[in-house]
Structure 1
Amino acid sequence: MTVAVGSPAPDFTLPTDQGELSLAALKGRPLVVYFYPKDDTSGCTREAIGFSSLAEEFAKAGATVIGISPDTVDKHGKFRVKHKLTVALGSDPDHRVAESYGAWGEKSLYGKKYLGIIRSTFLIGPDGIVARVWPKVKVEGHAEDVLAAVNAL
């Protein structure tokens, strides 16, 4: 079950290839947290590039964008450099944070069921309250939709 709009965002502290990120340290400004399955796959790469291409616009709105996946800090660093990504990438190998947001669950591929990241995005207001949730994200146009929601806060 995903975190509901109007509820406090679950706290987290995660390593990135550029240091640690925590919800508490980012309080007081809008925060976009997006969960994605795997570095350097087609959909995940398009999503990360989409958010990175709008980095200046998110910054003008005072927002920070963090992508979270189970990949390691080293993989995140290579992914970020390879695609010139400007968003922070948090490493959640035990999917503890993904579970707390409801972004970890049963998926199906070619008839096989397995557990994994459910691509989803959360907009957290400056007060630490979830302002908007995008469950089961479709990548195309998503970063633009999120930016519009940030600007409407």
Structure 2
Amino acid sequence: MKYAIWDIFYVIGAVLVCWLAWCATPFLDYTAGEAAPVYANLGAALNLVSSGAPSLSETYTAFRSVTDPTISVFGFSILFLSVLYLVFAFLSARSFDGALTFSGSHVGMAIVGYALACNFFLALFLQRFGYIKAIFVAPFQPFLNS
């Protein structure tokens, strides 16, 4: 019972991570649409590699058709797991340092997951700076309109 007061860090972390997950919803339509054909693209890429020596452009296209959606799905997984870990974190009694470290690490993981799930690095690679701005502004948008 003496560690129960430190559960407030889990609540704060869970609220922040749930907020990030909610703010990622406009960007997740693209992630969901791109995630559907990953298995088919992976099969096509493996067939391309096993059929002989493909050209560099074919290899690059096959690589991108598999890795881009996989990275965003991986980011969504990190974001979702961070939500779950923080929502159920109170099940383990931790000291002040343990609770703060646990919450901080999972909020940090959620921020990385948010960036990956929203295709931040793909937009950076393609130099779509308007999209990058939208990713950064989305969590603060309700506060900016006030």
* Common fold: TM-score over 0.5: no
* Shorter-normalised TM range: under 0.3
- Larger Cα Rg: Structure 1 or Structure 2? 2
Question: Relative contact order: is structure 1 or structure 2 higher (C-alpha 8 Å, sep ≥ 6)?
Answer: 2
Structure (1 or 2) with the greater strand fraction: 1
TM-score, scaled to structure 2: 0.27
TM-score, normalised relative to structure 1: 0.26
Which structure shows the higher helix fraction? 2
